[in-house]
Structure 1
Amino acid sequence: MTHWRKSTHSGGNEGECVEVADLDGHIGVRDSKNPAAGHLTLTRRDFTALLTRLA
């Protein structure tokens, strides 16, 4: 079973909620308000690059 974690940067009640999960060597990213919509799958390298760009 995949364990999704809510980002600490998602905020309280602002409605902008992101969850991440370890997917066997990749990182999954999804909208916690609509998990049935699917998720993005990124390599660890690409996820790191994304976080660097967002910082």
Structure 2
Amino acid sequence: MKEILLSTVSGFAVGVLFAKLKLPVPAPPSVAGIMGIVGMFLGYVLATRIGMR
């Protein structure tokens, strides 16, 4: 849980920094894009757990 909290806080800080420097966000600009990344991660985890790798 600590890793999730730390990564969320650091991601938030990086997002604020990018906004202040007027740089584009290095992530999909929509929830659908972010969910696509989450889906790829979950697919990878599932495939490695059931031995497809």
Shorter-chain TM-score category?
A: 0.3 to 0.5
Higher strand share: 1
TM-score by length of 2: 0.34
Q: When you count helix as a share of all residues, which structure comes out higher?
A: 2
Structure having the higher Rg: 2
Higher relative contact order (CA 8 A, sep 6+): 1
